[in-house]
Amino acid sequence: MEEKYWDLVLVPLGLLVLATYHSWLLLTILRHPKRTVIGLNALARQRWVRAMMADPLKNGVLAVQTLRNNIMASTVLATTAITLASLISVFVGASTTSSAAASLLVYGNKTARIASVKFFAISLCFILAFLCIVQSIRYYAHVSFLLVVPATTGALRDGGVSVAYVARSLNRGSFFWSLGLRAFYASFTLFVWIFGPVPMLASSVVICCLLYFLDTTTGYTRDLHDSFGGDEEEAREDA
């Protein structure tokens, strides 16, 4: 196979590896949440919301400060994403991509068009990360108002708010944060693509292997979660 056709085969294969892994992760979160860190953390956040709203006058300051830390971290990440996207756009517009693509470090298609596609894909990942993290900040800010309201066990009444609704909003903010972080991970593989399709495919496989160990839980972790009454609390939440 000619060198210029390697990108047409290896790059889609690397993207397929990432898509397959995250499809499996999504199905596992939906069907067996305790087997993933994302699902287990979502259950832990439900428990935290219930504890904070049990006495909002006592725990309100702690809850708002915790959310403020999350908002600050999200703001830093969103600023980084949009800054990197802007820098890449300026770099592409101010430099001659044809000379950069012809570098001896690149193995694969070295045309200016493919080089532009590479930088556009990286910029798209950072823009997607920015949008997801902005949505995360939106949910965190909304939850900061809800946590200081007394909780009610049924429908909204007497000025109360449902614990399930607050926990759901908090988890949505965290899920958007995770999506933004995944976009950063994907941008790394696309950045490696600048040096050729072979490093891009290799980095996709390596990242999926590393993410597997970061995204899955062990039996000890699940037992530790259940030892604090997680099953009983989840049953009450579902009821």
pLDDT tens-digit profile, the chain (239 residues): 566 677 788 889 999 999 999 999 999 999 998 899 999 999 989 989 888 888 777 887 888 888 889 899 889 988 888 888 888 777 765 554 444 444 555 666 667 777 788 888 888 999 999 999 999 999 999 998 888 777 765 544 555 678 888 899 999 999 999 999 999 999 999 888 888 888 899 999 999 999 999 999 887 677 777 776 555 445 444 43
Residue reference for tokens 């429908």: 155
CA 122, 124, 126, 132 torsion-angle sign: negative
- Residue 197 burial by Cβ neighbours in a 10 Å radius (0-12, 13-18, 19+): buried
At residue 159, the pLDDT reads 57
At residue 62, the pLDDT reads 86
Residue reference for tokens 């990360």: 129
Task: Look up the pTM and report it.
Answer: 0.81
At residue 97, the pLDDT reads 43
At residue 148, the pLDDT reads 79
Which tokens sit at 46?
A: 């439900």
Q: Residue 133: which residues within 8 A CB-CB, separation 6 or more?
A: 74, 77, 78, 81, 176, 177, 180
Q: Residue 194: which residues within 8 A CB-CB, separation 6 or more?
A: 106, 115, 118
